[in-house]
Amino acid sequence: MEHYLDNSATTKPYPQAVWAMTEVLTRDYGNPSSAHRKGVESEAHLRAARETVAKTLACEADELFFTSGGTEADNLAILGGAAARSRAGRHIVTTDSEHPAVENAVGRLEERGFTVTRLSTRGGMIDPAALEAALRPDTALVSMMMVNNETGAVYPVNRVRELLEQRSPNALFHIDAVQGYGKLPFSVKKLGCDLLTVSAHKIGGPKGVGALYVRRGVHIESLVCGGGQEGNLRSGTENLPGIAGFAAACEATFDDLPRKLQALRALREELICRLGEQLPQAIVHLPAQAAPHIVNFSLPPYKSETLVHALEQYDVFVSGGSACNAKKKVRSRALTAFGLPDEQVDSALRVSFCFENTREDIDALLDALGAAAASLAAGTV
């Protein structure tokens, strides 16, 4: 039996999502822009899916734009947002532990002459005073993740809007909510953000589809030229099968969500407790505020990659950090920013739960960790 505990990298699609995609691929396969009946039927599917996803964010359907995933949505928000506000200022505020989709987009703007302030996230926290001090009259954009994809730290995105109104009224506020979506209750209106990114494959939907919320009245520049789909913000024929799967995953995820989140929190707490009891050499990295689905810990002196492959021999699947960096053999920026010494960064494992995980998965993980550590210590792996 397999024990998949790498749900921050991707999730297994819900059967409902697979069925919805299959229906569109085999029956409702028209182009939503076509004028004939098949096109009109597909356009109705697109409209219904947009309304379903928008409901989960508590926004209007015309404020939601589908993309090819979280990375494109982040790039559109940052590059398109900065381009639209460049006359008002060329200063950006972000953190030192953002996902590469944000960090590299910000880095590109830095190459183009923007100045960037990266806030410290040591210990998984952002100092409110440091955030306030970083904001300037010429700040064009603030981009911050809701939940760190490696540590599970929850960043204080709910405090940004008030500070922006006081110190940087012309700035756009972007939240990368890819890891918080379906894991923390929120609404875009209460957050006060202008732009917010989500991704389907983190909540039981298909890969290759995401969405960007753009608050009504906010203008950002498009990055793709073409037929003007998605409100002329993201041209190209819509990925309707993926979008249908996204909407189905939303319905499955957000149904009875409070109960599911309570179960996730219980799993996380049990794993943390049992790590201390059964593997006292494990060092658990606990943010001050944590999402319910991620546990990050180190098991020095063993390397993350060695541990990941040792565990897979027992059909237990975890990661050594962000899946986007897993094959690059680079030290984790997020864990270094968290304040961990190199030895702990290099031996870190990330366990990330989904709603389908149970205590049996924790049992299997701990048994496999114990066996793997013993084999590594004996030099038999």
Active site residues: 324
CA gap 210, 197 in Å, rounded:
8
Q: Which of 373, 378, 365 is nearest to 314 (CA)?
A: 365
CA gap 5, 298 in Å, rounded:
16
Bridge partners (DSSP) of residue 66 are 211
CB atoms within 10 A of CB 317: 18
CA gap 157, 164 in Å, rounded:
12
Q: Which secondary-structure segment (H or E) carries 296?
A: strand 294-298
- Polymer length in residues for the chain: 381
DSSP state of 62: G
Residue 32, CA atoms < 13 Å, CB-side half-sphere: 23
The answer to whether the CB of 137 falls within 8 A of the CB of 129 is no
